Amino acid sequence: MTNDKPLKSSYELAMERFKKSDEEAGVERKPVTAAQKAAIAEIRNFYDAKIAELEVLHKGQLMTLADPAEREAREQEYRRDRARFTSERESKIEKIRRG
């Protein structure tokens, strides 16, 4: 069995299938430029800092609250704000990737 082609891993095979299905669906893949990578990194850093700040403030608030209803309200507010930041981050990154 002398075959010039090296064996492919299951990951490589799966990636080939994904590329083929993307081509069949008409999806065009463009490589991300260095400028886009830098902009994406800046956005991620900004929103990671915002989320970390939100978490610190949230934990500080919870330490001062004793009322379970108030704690639950603050917890829901925290989750809502965190989801908003995450959504904003992902939409801005997607906008940059599109060009």
Residue ranges of the domains in the chain?
32-98
Distance CA 19, CA 36 (A): 22
The amino acid at residue 6 is: P
Specify the higher pLDDT residue, 29 or 68: 68
CB–CB of 62/74 below 8 Å? Answer: yes
Please tell me the predicted confidence (pLDDT) of residue 3: 67
Look up residue 43 and give its two tokens. Answer: 């956005």
Mean pLDDT of 31-46: 93
Please tell me the predicted confidence (pLDDT) of residue 19: 86
pLDDT of 27 above 80: no
Please tell me the predicted confidence (pLDDT) of residue 2: 57
pTM of the model: 0.71
- How much of the chain, in percent, has pLDDT values that exceed 70? 97
